[in-house]
Structures are given as C-alpha cells and as structure tokens.
Structure 1
Amino acid sequence: MKYENFDENNIQAFPYIQPYINKAKKEKNYEKLVQGYKDGVFYSSSNERKLVYADSAIWAAQLSENKDLISTAYIEKGVVYYYHYKKFQAALNEYLLAYEYSKDTKNEFLKYQNLYHIGVVKSYLGYYEEASKLFEECIAYYHPKTKSGLHPNEIYNNKKGYLNSLHQLIICYRNLKKSDKEDLAIKTGLSEVGNDDDYVQEKGYFLLSKGISEYDEKKYLLASDHLKQSLPPLKKSGDFARLSVNFFYIGKSYAGLKKNEESISYFRKVDSIFQKHQFILPELRENYEILIKHYKKEGNQGQQLYFTSQLLKADSIISKDFIYLSSKIHKEFDTRTLLEEKSKLEKANSWGNIIIGSLILVAIILLILLIVRYRREKNIQQKYILLEEKFSLQQNALSEESFINMDIEEKKIGLDENKVEELLTKLKIFEDKKEYTQKGLTINKLAGQLGTNSNYLSQVINDCKGVNFNKYLSELRINYITTLLFENKEYLKYRIETLAKECGIASRQNFSDLFYEINGIRPTDFIRKRRQELDNKNNFSAFNPA
C-alpha cells in the first residue's frame, strides 16, 4: 500500500484509503473492506471519525460472516474506546463481544490478542488479580514464539504481544504489592528490549516501571533518572495517562531529594494533563492532596482553593470511571475535610463567602456552558463528517447516473412512455444547465418552459423522482450550493443572504431551514467547519512540506 509508512493520524493517507475501500465494496471483498476501515481508524485525525470507521469495520465484518474477522473488528472498536476515549467499560464491552466470536477460533494469535485487551481494561478498573492471570496466559503463549522459526513479521508481532503483556503484568504486581515479582519482570523486560529501535516505546514503559520501583525503595536519585529517560517515548506515543504517572513519580522523587520547587512543578504538570483530557488515574489523587498541603503551608489561599476544586472534580471522575477502586482508595482529604478547609478559607476573609460562592456559581455555569457547547460541537462535527461522506459518494456516483427504467415506471404512472422519456430528458437538461436557480420558479412556470402542463409535470416528478415538486426543487438548489461550498473556498466568504440568492431562494430563513432539513446542519455551522478543515490542511502543509 502507498500509505503504509505514513504516521498514525496522518490524513494524507485518505486519497489512497478511499479508493481501496470503494474497490473492496464493489468486489464485495469483506476482508479487504475491513482492512480499509481499520486503516481509516488508524489515519483519522479525530476520535469521532475513528469511531465511525470502527463501526464500519464491524458492519463489513458481519457481512462476511467470518467470526475471526468480526472478532478483529470488535477489538478495533474496543481499542478506540480504551486508548482514545479512556471509556473503560465501553471498551470492555467490545472486547467481550470479540471474545464471544473468537471462542472457537483456530487463530491462536487473535484469541490471545483479545485476552490481552480484556486484561488491560480489567487492570485499569482495579481487578488486578484477574488481570494478572490473563497476562500470564498471554506471556506463556507469546514468549515461545519470539524464539521460533516464524516469519520475521510474525516474530515481531508476537514479541510486541509478549512485551506489552509483561508491562501490564508489572502494573498488576505493583498494585498487588508483589515487589519481588515486579522487579524480576522489569529486569526481564529491559533485557528483552535492549537497544532495539523497534521496541523504543516498550523500553519507555519498562523504564517507567523501574523508576517507580526505585522510588518505592527510596532510591530517589536513580528513580528520577530512569523516569526522565522514559519521558521521550511516552510523549511520542501520546499515552497521556502513563505520562501523568511519570510526572507524578518524578515529582515525588524530587520531594524525596528535598527539591521542593522542582517537585511542585511536576505535580502541576499532572494537573495540566488533567485539565486537557479530563481524565485521571486513581493513584494520582494524591497529587492534589500534596498540592493542597503545599499551598496551605505557603498561605496561598487562591491556589489552595483551586486545587481543592480540582480534587473534588478528580473524585467525581474517579467515582464514575473506577467504581471498584473508588470505594477502596485511601483519601486523606475526604469530603468532610475538604468542606472544613473551605469553611476556614471563608472565615479568613470577610468577603470569602461571596467570592467562593461566586466562583462556585461561575464554575457551575461555565461547566454547563462547556458541556452544552461540547455536545453541540460534537453533534455538528458528526453531521459535517456525514455530509462530507455523502458529498464524496455523490461525486463518485455521478458517472453512474442513468434514466429510470421506463418499463417499470410506465406501469406505475400510466403515462405514455415516449412522453415521459421526453419530459425526463428536458428535466435532465434543466438540471444540467442549473436553471433551477431562477428566482420565483413555480411548477406552472417550469411546465410552461418545458412545453407541458403542471399536472403532467407534477405526476412525472412525483413518480420518477420520488418527491413532490417543492422537495425536488429544494434539493437541487441546496445540493448545488453545497457543492459550491465544498469545491470553491471563495463561496465560504459569502453572506447567507448571498448564498440564498445564488441558488434562487429569496429568504435567508427559508434557505437556512432547507439547508438544515436536507444536510442535517445549519449553513453557518457548515461554513465554519469547512473553514476549519481547510485551515488545518493549510497548517499541516506549511509544517510538513513535501
């Protein structure tokens, strides 16, 4: 494939992917079609679009009735939920569906790939004992195959599976307080990866684990050194969850070395990731307890209040995403303590009550507005993507247009075949010349222009086009203006009134309503999204010259 060496999330792959998908659809080659949609997941730059392609992969796999292919597709969707959304329960549901389809598979690699992913989610949700058993099973399968006489690609895939299973097992051992097994697994992992460039990311995970283990042994200098070595591969992989853990333990190592300023700077980095992704692991809750204590000691009430709010927000997320762990986690700053601290802050300043009340109110209002805006923006983005795909399909279908089968239609409408065909030909010329953009066009006017009567024209449009005259005319006009907006960026600068007149619609409101009815999105939102897409492409080209 011409795009196989592109980096993940590189949208420049799509001019190659779409023809591949179209060809697979035409040939009903479902295995290739699933691969095309999986490539769509890998190279899409937005999480929403990754999920759309993952669903398409499941649809194509189900058409194949191949259980292995269906299992693979469900795993793909689970990975999107797990890695890109951090929706662990949703990911686990997909993996369990994949497991059901792979129960009787003869493809052992697929079977253990699925067991690995189920183990990962179980580990994240706190079921470490159950997860560790799954990872031990995976290691027992993958490891022997890294030393076998298989094809180099198969050896590489099995070694990836082995190293990732080993890393996840280390996490389980750490949480189960099995330090001897943890240290042995870390040593094994680092020995296996060596300095091989193919396993840089895995080496980063083992270095992170080694740093955490050394921190637990109070070897703070060694811990900070290994943790910093693991930073570049973690940043490159985009694994913000593990990057947060890394920053947290660097901060704790510096605290152990009495380097207070450096320590606090890394704890604040954890908060920056939390702000950006609205996600936090339960083990990082202590991060906010440390920051609250620090700023309380300094007498900085503003920062103390801010990190108290962040801790409450973190508790809310942990309670929702990590139900099993939330009941077990040690909370030095429980709800009562936080409320007591809030009360002290209020008493410290006579205006404290008003300020804090106002801040809380503003925060609630902002949160509501952000949620509403986020949901609206997500909905608009999904509708824009659907319209973009609809436009692409229409363009591909233009060459395949043909007149309606007259034998069937003659029976349906009971009119003379020659007259119907003649009128359809005139309508085709009317459409090709874009005469539907005339202002004030009615069915009587069009009937006169085509040399027929309005009743005859109405019946032909209803039966041959499948819609009434008004719907027929509206769709022609809106499809025409939509095409212009897609193909000519100059039209993105026009006012809505100008666009309405351009396609023959007199009223701005009528144009906006028809655009929404046909395209599922308001013209103002469509134009904004189209501009953003073009700007992103221009920025990408500027920073990535050919």
Structure 2
Amino acid sequence: MKLKYLLMLLVIGNVFFHAQTNNAEKKIPEKRTYKELEDEFYKALPGDTNRTKSIAGSYLKKAKSEKNMPQIAEGYVMIHFEEDLPNALKYLDSLQRITRNSKENIYPARIYLLRGNLYLKTNNLQAALNNYILGLKYAKEKGNKRQIAMAHTSIAYLNNYIGKHAETAKVLKHYAYDADYMNQDEKNSLKLNLADAYIEINKMDSAYALIQEGLLDSKKNKDVYRYYQNLGLLGYYHLHLKNYQKAINGLLKCEKYFFTKNNGSKRNHNYTLLYLGKSYAGLQEKEKAAELFRKIDSLVLKTNYIYPELRDVYTYLIDYYKENNDKEKQLYYVDRFLKVDQVLDNQFRYISRELPRRYDTPELQQEKDDITNELTKRKSLFYIVLSLLLISHLLFINVYFKYKKSEKNYKKIAQDLIQSVNENRVGKNNDREMNKEISSEPLVSESPENPEDKTSRTISEDIARNILHELEIFESKDQFLNKGITLGSLAKKIKTNSKYLSEIINTYKGKNFATYLNDLRIDYAISRLANDKKFRSYKIPFIAEELGYNNEQAFTLAFKKRTGTPLSVYLKEIENMSLD
C-alpha cells in the first residue's frame, strides 16, 4: 500500500499557508467573511466538489471585488484544488505572478509544494519530486519549518514507492511526535500514514496501537471521515495477518461509507475495494473477489487513477478467466494489464517489490499473441489460421532459443566466477603482500600517463600515499560492509577531505566513489558466497543487509551489473558445483 492518506495531510497542511491578513474581512452579500469561507472550505469532506467549488468561487469573487491581493492569492489556492490538471496549473501560475514580490516567508515554496501535490495526484512522480525538491529548497531559504515538514513528508511518500518503507516510517515518526509546530490534525494524518508504513515493515504491534488510537480519538471528536480511514487501515492490518473475515467485516462498513454520497476520495474507493477483493480471494471466494476487482477496473477507466497494486488486480482477473476458459475476457484483462504496466513503467522508476512476477510484460505479450491466434482460428479461413499458427510457433521458438542462450551465458559467467574464486584462494595472500610492496614505492601509474598528471597539483605524493594506505586498511578489514558509508564519512574517518579522497579514488582506482564501494561489496559477496555455505544459506534480505545494502533489490541489481549474471543463477551454480 502506498500511503494513500498522505494527500489528506497535504491538504490539511495548506490551511497553514493562509496569509495572516484580517483587515479585509468584510461582509459579502452571502454574509460570510474570508475566515468563515476558509473554514467551510477546508472542513468540507473530500469529494464534495460542488460545495468546495462554490465556496472557493465566492472567496475569489469577494477578494477581486475588493482588490485584496493577499486574499486573491488565497482564492487561487482554494479554487485550484477541484480543477483538472491544466486549469489547476493555470491558477497556480496566476498565484506565482501576484506573489512574485511577496514578503511572506511562505512564498515561493508554497507554489512548488502545491504543484508537487497536483502532479502526485495525477501519478507524474518525476514532476512531483522535482517540485517538492524546489519547495524544500525555498522553504529552507526562508526558514519555514512547517513547509520543510510538508516537503519532507511528501518526499517520504515517494520513497515509499521504491520500497524504502523503514525510511518513510522514520520521517513520519519524527514529524508526528517531535515537531511541536505541527497541529493536531496534521499529526493525526501523519500517524495514520505511519501505521500504514509499520504494516509494510511488519511492525504489526506498533501499527495496531496507532490504528486503535486513531479510532478512539476520531470517535471521541466525532470525526467520521477519519474514523473510517482508520477502520479501512485496520482492514488492511487484518488482511496482512490473513484474518480475512475480520478484514471483510470492517471494510464492508468502509465501502458503505465511502461510496455513499461520494464521501471518499478515489484513493479510499480503490483501496477499500482492493482490500475487500484480496480478503475474499484469501477465503477462496473467487467470484466475489473477481467482482470487486472488476469494479476497480471500472474506476480506473473512469478516473485514470493508477497505482502499483493494480497489477495484483489484473493478474487475478487473468487467472480467474483463464480457469473459467473465458478467452475473450482473459484477453481483455491481459490488454488492461499491459496498458497499466506501461503507465507504471513510464511513471515509476522502480516497480513495487511485492508485485507478482509471473505475468511480466514479455510473457504476457506472448500469451496475448497465442490467445489472439486462437480466437482468429474460429473466424478465419483455414490457410490464414495455419499461417498465423506457423508465425506464432516461429516466434515462440525464437523467444525460447534466445532465453536458452541467455540462460547458458548466465551459467557460464557464474561458473567462471566460482572457478576464479577457487583459483584465487591461494594467491590472495601473495597479492596482498605484493600490494604492500607496491604501496611503499613512488606513486607511478601502470598506464603510459603518470596519474600525478591527472590529479590536482595540490595533492602531494605523501598525502596520496597516506590516503591509499588508509584505503588499503579500509579494504583489508572489510569496513566497506558497514551501512551508511558516504564519501564524506570515509574522508572524515581517514582524516582527509572529500575532494582529495574522491580524486585519489578516481585516479588510482579508476572509478568514482560509489562504483568503488559497490565493487568492493560485490567482490566480497562473490567470494564469501562461494566459500561460506552457512552465509549463502541465509535469506537474500539478510545477506544484502550484511553487505551494507539498504534492501534486497539494491543488492541484486548491483550484483548483476557487476558480474553480468543474476544472483539466483550464481547461487544455483555454486550448489551444483558443490554437489559435483
């Protein structure tokens, strides 16, 4: 789940950004002041578009009639919330024009944060991140703590999409408990998202405590909307623990509330149906699950709201209709899956770690071709069908042999790596002794060009030798396995500066610091996995953590990039060669 409640926090946060001017609060024909209109607007339930548009229109009309520039700015902010992306951006452009010379410390950061929210709502994560970074920059320049908090929590939302759930939880926890400048509504929203992040990292007790706190507090304050948000999250909590019936009991109440008079946002609608469908699937009530997943597809077509868990929805529907031998609908949902997958691939840098892999794009494309050929067979002449079948078989054979060739290449690389590890066992100590002798000699490059010509004239030979000596210690003692190593932290440790260290690594190691650190870790992994049976018996996330990586995905991607073969193939070949 991807912090579906965070946008609520961002909307709440916008209340803070109101200009602190009260001198223009005069009565308008509707007998409402600016303050009254603002309160009505921000207390309206999400989805009550007609009401919020009317309030925002009245506010802006009043401000323009009085030529009150600060309140006109607020009017543009309010009215942009319920507009589509192009019109909303135009209102923010107008806001930027009239606040260009504003002395308030909320500008220009406010504009970039609001733009980021717009792009986030429309799944343009790259544009959202760019705007959040700019918002953070200007918020820091103006020393606006609350805007800094809004930028940080927004970026935490994006981090969550690439699997950094623990990092997300850390940010949310800080602002929920250690930031006294956040108001209670903001803290409540942060805690809701924090509970969600805790579920993702399996801190179930902490998640449950926060959800119960949210339920009790919202009930006490008669905050119905927040109560059902927490109830929906409780449903996800039970789903995660496979308490399917308990999940269903609460989620059915959420469905009734969120879908009545359009009380919920599209996030509430989608995730309520998603968890209900998964819960019914867990109980093997396949027809109910499929019905709910079809409703989600209808919502996606209507709102174009796309999120990573949709792959679960479409793969389930594909399997469901495959089991029922309904080729037409199977093909339809294969098409839907491919379209959604393309959007996700374009919009997100990394695909969620929990998504199923057996329906990856190449396999689905091939399955689509096979189904299309089968349906064509019923409607076409024999020779056309025969031709299509021949083409499909040729394509299949081509794909098959390419796969086999790739698999054989991976195995060969893995075997060569293992052989190299075995051959280097004896020579490793000799190599280290040789390196020690070399380090005591004047620094001369093996290449025709002296490395001193490449490095800055400000780095003396003594300093360079000292840094190389420290790097030798760093390598020999396997200190590169420590988590959180940066160029700055290593420079500080060996008592030099980042510029010197970077230049020495680039010159004498022939690579930048990130590549240098990554290569050390992977080379260590190659050797230890081959030599240490107990180590390779551990689960991959644990091995990744031992090697200093933040997550399994970062390790496996780095391994393949360094070696040219997947980690799984390397481990399999180690076992095969051990058995031999």
TM-score by length of 2: 0.53
Distance 1:241 1:168 in 2: 13
Aligned to 1:265: 291
CA contact (8 A) 2:165 2:201 kept: yes
User: Shift in Å at residue 113 of structure 1?
Assistant: 2.9
**Counterpart for residue 98 of structure 1:** 135
1:210 to partner: Cα distance: 1.0
Checking the alignment, whether the CA contact within 8 Å between 1:345 and 1:352 is kept in structure 2 is no
2:225 aligned partner: 201
Q: Residue 480 of structure 2 aligns with which residue?
A: none
Provide the residue aligned with 2:59 in structure 1.
Answer: 17
For residue 193 of structure 2, the aligned residue among 157, 168, 172 is 168
Instruction: Deviation per CA, 1:297-325: give whole Å up to 9, x if none.
Output: 11111000000111111111111122122
For residue 332 of structure 2, what is the aligned residue in structure 1? 306
User: Structure 1 residue 346: deviation in Å?
Assistant: 4.1
Deviation at 1:103, TM superposition (A): 1.0
Partner of 2:124: 87
Is the contact made by 1:61 and 1:73 (CA closer than 8 Å) also made in structure 2? Answer: no
2:252 aligned residue (219, 225, 228):
228
> More helix by proportion, 1 or 2?
1
Q: Secondary structure at the match of 2:309?
A: helix
CA distance in 2, matches of 1:347, 1:14: 55
Q: Percent identical across equivalent pairs?
A: 25
Shift in alpha-carbon separation, 1:100–1:254, aligned structure 2, 3 A: same
Partner of 2:204 in structure 1?
179
Instruction: Give matches, 1:31-430, under 5 Å.
Output: 31-42=70-81, 44-83=82-121, 85-105=122-142, 107-124=144-161, 126-141=163-178, 158-197=183-222, 199-232=223-256, 234-235=258-259, 236-325=262-351, 329-346=355-372, 348-349=374-375, 351=377
Task: State the secondary structure of the residue aligned to 2:101.
Answer: helix
Shift of 1:74: 2.4
Deviation, 1:23, is 5.0
- For residues 202 and 123 of structure 1, do their structure 2 counterparts lie closer, same or farther at Cα, with a shift above 3 Å needed? farther
What is the CA distance between 1:140 and its match in structure 2?
1.8
Residues in 2 aligned to 1:140 and 1:101: alpha-carbon distance in whole angstroms: 25
Q: How far off its partner does 1:106 sit?
A: 5.2
The amino acid that maps onto 2:185 is K
Partner of 1:395: none
Larger mean CA deviation between 222-231 and 120-129 belongs to 120-129
Contact 1:77–1:94 (Cα < 8 Å) also in 2? yes
CA deviations on 1:187-237 (whole Å, 9 max, x unpaired) are: 23223322533x333222221221111112221111011112223554445
Contact kept? 2:173, 2:194, Cα under 8 Å: yes
Offset, 1:161 = 0.7
Post-superposition shift, 1:353? 9.0
* One-letter amino acid of the counterpart of residue 154, structure 2: H
Distance 1:21 1:74, change over 3 A: farther
Q: 1:18 to 1:218 in 2, by over 3 A?
A: closer
Counterpart secondary structure, 1:312: helix
Task: Give the drift of 1:126.
Answer: 4.1
Residue 68 of structure 1, CA deviation? 1.8
Residue 281 of structure 1 and its aligned partner are, at CA, apart by 1.5
Superposition RMSD on alpha carbons, in Å?
3.1
1: CA distance, partners of 2:373 / 2:85: 46
Match of 1:68, SS? Answer: coil
> Residues 333, 127 of structure 1: CA spacing in aligned structure 2 closer, same or farther, 3 A cutoff?
same
Q: Does the 8 A contact of 2:278 with 2:289 survive in 1?
A: yes
SS class of match (1:325): coil
Listed one character per residue, the Cα deviations across residues 28-50 of structure 1 (whole Å, up to 9, x for unaligned) are: x4x333212112224x5444322
How many Å separate the matches in 1 of 2:175 and 2:246?
31
Alpha-carbon distance in structure 2 between the residues aligned to 1:341 and 1:300: 14
Structure 1 residues 277, 125: CA separation in 2 closer, same or farther (over 3 Å shift)?
Answer: farther
Q: How does 1:415-454 map to 2 (within 5 A)?
A: none
Partners of 2:91 and 2:144 in 1: CA distance: 24
Task: Tell me the distance in 2 between the aligned counterparts of 1:127 and 1:352.
Answer: 49
After superposition, what is the alpha-carbon deviation per residue over 1:86-107, rounded to whole angstroms, capped at 9, x for unaligned? 3222222222222112115454
- Do the aligned partners of residues 37 and 354 (structure 1) sit closer, same or farther apart at CA in structure 2, a change above 3 Å counting? farther
Distance 1:70 1:353 in 2: 62
Q: Alignment partner of 1:206: what SS? A: helix
Deviations 1:41-93 (A, max 9, x none): 24x5444322211222222222214332322232222222223x232222222
* Per-residue deviation, residues 490-537 of structure 1 (Å, max 9, x unmatched): xxxxxxxxxxxxxxxxxxxxxxxxxxxxxxxxxxxxxxxxxxxxxxxx
- State whether residues 204 and 231 of structure 1, in contact with CA within 8 Å, keep that contact through their aligned partners in structure 2: no
| Alpha-carbon distance change, 181 to 353 in structure 1, aligned in 2, over 3 angstroms | farther
- Separation in 2 of the partners of 1:213 and 1:327? 19
What is the CA-CA distance between 1:295 and the residue it aligns to? 0.6
Runs of 5+ consecutive residues of structure 1 not aligned to the other structure: 146-156, 358-546
* 1:269 positional shift: 1.0
CA pair 92-21 structure 1, distance change in 2 beyond 3 A: farther
2:60, 2:72 within 8 Å by CA — same for their partners in 1? no
Once the 2 structures are TM-superposed, how far is the Cα of residue 13 of structure 1 from its aligned partner? 3.7
